[in-house]
Each structure stands twice: as C-alpha cells, then as structure tokens.
Structure 1
Amino acid sequence: MLNDPRSHGLWEKTAPSAPETTALRGDFRAEVVIVGGGFTGMSAALHLAEAGRRVIVLEGAEIGFGGAGRNVGLINAGMWVMPDDLPGELGEVQGERLLTMLGSGPKVVMDIIDRHGIACELQCNGTLHCAVGEAGLQDISERERQWRKRGAPVSLVDAAETARLVGTNAYAGALLDKRAGTLQPLAYVRGLARAALAAGATIHTGSRVTACSRTGSEWTVRTSGGSVTAPWVIVATDAYSTGPWTAVRQEQVHLPYFNLATRPLPPDILQTILPERQGAWDTKEILSSFRLDQAGRLVFGSVGALRNTGRTVHVAWAKRSLKRLFPALGPVEFESEWFGMIGMTDNALPRFHRFAENVVGFSGYNGRGIAPGTVFGRALAELVLGTLDEADLPLPLTEQTIPALRLAKEVYYEAGAQIAHLAGERF
C-alpha cells in the first residue's frame, strides 16, 4: 500500500482488490460525512446507507490504511481490561453495557460477513489466550471466572489440551473463547467498503481533511480538492488522526506492533500447529501473537517497529521464538513483514467524543479494532439516525486530554521492545 511492502505486508498481498474510488473533486452535499475509511468509518457508512441516508466517506490515504489494514486479524470479544474492572472505570450501567456490546461484537462481525458475502478468510473456531507460567495461568483463570459469570462461552483448557490445540508444550494452559475468531483484516474492511457502496454510500480516497467549519446547522468538511457539507460529521480516524482532529491522535500513545509471515507450511506441519485454526496470543507483558492464514502461512507478531535496528532485532527474535515453540518447523524464513501503530489510552479503554454539536466519534481501541470498530460504527450510525440516544451509549462523553510524557513513552516502548527481544529466547 502506498508502494511500501512493509506497510501492510501479507494482507495487501492476499486481500481482494479494493473497490475503485477517486479523490474528492468539487463541492457536494450529504446527510452525513464520515472522516476515515477503517472499521469504524466503513461500518457506520454501511449502516447509514442501508437506512437510506446520503453518506460520503473521506479517507486520507486508502481504504483500511490505518490500524484496520495492519492488525493481526483476531476478532476478539472484550478489551484488555478485566471484565469486572469495567464497571469500576465506567460505572455499573455503562460498564456492563460495554461488556455486553463487546461480548457480542464477534457475532456482529460474522453476521455482516455472512450477509454481504465478504471474502475475508473468516474462521469461527475461537481464540486461545495462552498462559505463560503460573502467573499467566492465574490471569486467564480469573478472566474465565469473570466472563463465565456473565454467561460467556469461555473455558479454561489444561496444559495437555493447550499443547494439542497450539502445537507446543510452552504454555501452562489457555483460555478458549468460542465467541471469537480470525479474519484477513484488510480484506474485511475492503468488503465493508464494497457493501457500503452497494448500499448507496460514496467513498473518496486520497482525500485528507484539512478543515471543518460550521454555517448555521451544517458542517463543511474540506480537503485540498473540494468539500462536503452535511448536518452530521462522524470522526473515525482514531490513532492515525491528522488535521482538525489531531487531538484524537495526541490523546493516545503509539505502540508499534509488527507481523511476520512464513511461506505456506507443509501439510504434515499444519496438522500439528493450530490444527483447529484458532488465533492465539500469550500473557507476556511484551506479548506474542500467532495464527495461520488461509493458505497455511504462520503469521507471528509482537511489539516493535520494523525500522532502523528494530528490523534486524525483531526478525532474529521471531526466528528464535518459533524455533523454541515449534521445533518441527526447522529453519524459518519470512515471505512478508509489516508493522503499524496501536493507539493506547491511559486506561486501556476506548473513548466517545462529541467534538461539537453533531460531530461525534469513537477512538482508542487499544489493539482491539475489528469487533469494537464494527459495533461502535453501528452505534454512531444509530446515534445519527436517532434510534439510539447518547445516554444509551456504552461509554460516557470523554474530554480530550494529552497523556503526560506521551512522546517519551513512545520512544521508550519502541526501544524497550528491541531490548527485550535482543535478550529474549536465546539458546
């Protein structure tokens, strides 16, 4: 994407082509203008267009360019925060409301994929949160307890069953979440865009928003090539925000995350590594994630940026890690490598913002973009349609604040990941 193979890697290589779009040229009117063409923006566009609204989406680069097109592809339920902690953070009503919405998020995603026939390598066999040592086992055991008391179909599997499901004896157990699954993220967001276009939405790419101003009850959003005037603006730019809503980026700390993909594995190896095709990640502070794509490539990732000295350090670490986890793989070579930025809020929870009257958006997905982005995009559409009141949203209205030492933290995370991986998994 944008002539950079390290931007979207395997996902750009294997996704169906993006729908044909052009940059905004001229001045137009709509009922809703959506800024950002990722999971949230495309979900909002689809649901609004299906309700008969005139919608124009403005994307600064390409569909799925931000976090939507770079992530691991796990369709997770919930956030990083323990379920019982959400009512403490948000209050009992909104905390449980958020848990309900996010818990059902994977099903919403899967239903959209089924309804619109989106080809995105969907796997519905769940995910595995793998415990590293006794501390990791205690963590996932508590997560299981908290989700199960809310009726979620999660189960703790022991070390032996984890070894069968993952293909390694490295873990003390795993939390199997049967609500969850995996997909090809860039293919999914492009599929959402195609569905939105078919429903009547208009999408302009290469149309970075530079200004937003109000005249009476309407907003005019401008790019270098034109403008869109509408009563409502949905801001769906999240951690890649620039222009009028740069503050959305500034209230998040960027955490780099990379992925590496092997060549398709031999059939005998595929019978032993993730044989049921769950996606997996571990409980380490600097975590690792791994999954198989449709062709049988093993996709392996962790915290870090593949630039400068980071590329050498992280690729070498990944080879050592895979050798330890799956000795039968033999020498590992990667055919694709890519990385992007995860926007992290100070409490690891997403935010709802009303930037001005009828200018709204969600942001801060903290590495959980697929299901939350989809359901929050739908919620924004319902807010515009008037079928959902702001008081019924799962998040309170949040003031924008810039975290202390944000830039220093970003440097620390990138350097710290290199230090950890330089020392880690040595033999």
Structure 2
Amino acid sequence: MNLNKIHKLFAEKIENTIKEQFVRAFDLKLTSEELSTWKVLISFKNSRDRDAFISNHDKLKFSKKFDLIPSMALELKKEEIQQLTNEELVKRIEEDQKLYLSMIEVIEMIGLKEYRRSNANYTGQNVKIGLIDEGINKELENVKENILMKFSLHDEANKVGTSGNNPKLNHAALMANIICNKYLDENNNLIGIAPGVKIIDFDIYNPENTYYMSDVLEMLDLIFKKNIILDILFIPLNTLDCSDGSDLLSLACNEIAKKGIIIIAPAGNFGPESCTIGSPASAKSIISIGALTKQNTIAYYSGRGPTLDNRNKPDFCLPGSKIKIPITRNLTIDFSGTSAAAAIGVGLVALMKEINPMISYKEILYYFDKNSIYLNYDINSQGFGAINAKKLFLQLAPTKVTQSIIPYNYLVKKSLKISIEIIIVLLIFYYMIHFLGLIITIFNSL
C-alpha cells in the first residue's frame, strides 16, 4: 500500500480495524458486508484523470463525482483501497467521514437579549446567506419570507416552497431562527440577529438523518457550477475526527472562499479535550466559532484546538449554551451547541456586510480580533476571545452608533471658515495696535 496516497488517520483506521471496535462498543447491528466496507473519497489532479480512472475501473460503482476539486465518492473494501493507492491516476484517498450537527440536548431556558445586535439600525438587508443543513420547513412563518431559494440533494434546484418533507423543528430551523427570527421580544425588539437577510437553503436532509462529507461537497460543487452569488456560507456540521485542513471538504471550502464568500462553521461539540475540531472548521479560510456559557466561560463541549497541523483554532467564541428560541407563537425551545454560537456569528457578519458589502475575510478577522474580550483561557480554547458586538459596531460604523460625528467635508469647510475669521481678527488687531502707536508718536512730538 502506498501510504503517501492515503490520509494518515484513515490509514490508521483501516489497519487498526477501528470500525470493528466502534461496532462492538456501541453494540451496533451491521452485516459482515457493511463491516468490511468503507465510504471513501478519491481525488485527482484534474477532471481528465478522474474520468480516465472511471473508464479504467468500470466495475467500481461511484455514488457522486465533483468538479470543484476533481474527485468522487464510492464504497470500497479494505483490499480495494490498498490496491488503488498504487493507481497512478489517483492523487489521494480519504474517508468520506460522517458529519455531525453541532447541537446538543435542549436544556433549561435563558434569554437571548444579552447577545442581540448592538444597533437596531442594521438588519443585514440585502445580504445573502447560504445554509447547508437539513432544510428549512416552508411553514415556519417567522423566517419563511427570508428564504430566497432552495436547493436539495433530492431535487437539484427546488424553488422556495416546493419541498415540505423536512421536519418543522430541525437543526436548520433553529439556525435560521437565530439568524433572522422576526418575532419581537418584550421590549419590541426583533429577536433575530439579522432579520433582513435572505437565505439560500441548501437542503441535505434524508430520513436517516445521516450526513457525510460527500453531501456537503455536492452542495459546494453546485455553488461552483451554478456560480451562485453568496455573501456568507454557513456550514453547521463537523466531523468527529480532528483535521489538519487538508481533507477534501476543507480544501473545497478554501476554493469557495476564493470567490469572496465568508464561510463560518462551528468548532464542534467534541470537547473539552485538545485537538477536537474537525472538518470543515479546521479549514484555513473558515471562521470557526466556539461556544460560551452565560457566565462567559468556555462551554465544556466546545471543540478545542490545535488542528492536526498545529494551527490555533477556534478563531473566536460567542454564546452557545442554553439559548432560548421562539419557533412559533406558541412554541419556544432551548438548546445548546457550537452551531448556536456560529449562527450568532453569521448574523454579526451579515450586519458587517450590510455596513460594508466589500469587507473581506481578513478585515472581518481584524475587526473581530480588535473587539474581543480576553477570557483567560488558552488560545486553543477561546481563540482570540469573546466578540463584543457593541464595541465592534462602534469601531466599524461610529456615525451610526453615536449619531454625533460630523461629516469630514463639513469639518474641512468649517475649520477653513474659522481660520479665515481668526486671521481677519488678528489683522484688525495688528493694524489697531500699529495705528495706536502712530497716534502716540505724533502726540509725543507736539
């Protein structure tokens, strides 16, 4: 087996029969066929090599193929994987890892008002957010007006409202409600962080609620092929295994980020041990968000860095524990998870994008960094700290927040007028002194 062509962690899994250990530990019922088969992703240098590989191995049945990064998804036995590592056309083989929604059990209620945006003038108007998740049910009245379009794995280009098979209350519904809920709180303030945004719903739902890297890769490929215009892409899923950012999902996210799309992902819920941030949060071009408790401590479940290649992650932290969300007028639920924190981060970035549509990934990191509170944790637990929204918008758009800064051109004109007036006064004073001196001289000569 050519170990240079297989992901290191995947090679260890195959050799150490980790799947068998997992099945025994959790008493799972798998057939011998399922036990010996792995879901894999094979990548190639280019699409030509991929298509040639498919022609040369017509007996292999692939489930999906991708163009953003030339690759394919299929199921293989251990022996087949070992053989294919010697195939010249193959660039790399890795596991098509299972993805986990970054939400844990619903627990006791708290209010969300402490974390609402600092300035009600901003709503995220005209900002487009892509959400790759289980699909938002069309019947949710508090967010349905925000859904611009829907794409589904089962129906490539559904428009809004054509698919209603998704459960009304699912992970996607919670994410959408945090971002753009239009209900009012007791003070008549909109509950959503950015209620003016438009969401493009990338629905990967299936009845088994089981998701893999290849599902998200298919949506990223769709964004690439159709040139879908987005400001922000939110991927609230994570792998169990830690990542070095070189896996196919992370690399595909990096390619999408080159289009100027800000990608945000939660740090995952596999903490508190170190190196518990998987893909895609470990990608170099993604903003990864960890979760805080109400007491501004790092939530015990929040994923920790470093990444496998020793980069610091997460990037920042936001509230993610015991978040109260009204789903309908009669139903309010509470939940915790790093995806809740990341959804708040998505809302904040949407407000920043409304203020400055051209703001870049690096500029967003800069403003977040300069307006974060240090929490006395190590950098691989808290990142650069907890984002202070009020301070952030005070720096990003002081005229909107304070309503007291005079426009620059007016200041220039005003200062010029004052300068001229001062010069005139000084000249008058000078000539008065000179004239008075002349009179005294004449008077003394008499």
Calculate the TM-score normalised by the size of structure 1: 0.28
* More contact order relative to length (CA 8 Å, sep ≥ 6): 1
Calculate the TM-score normalised by the size of structure 2: 0.27
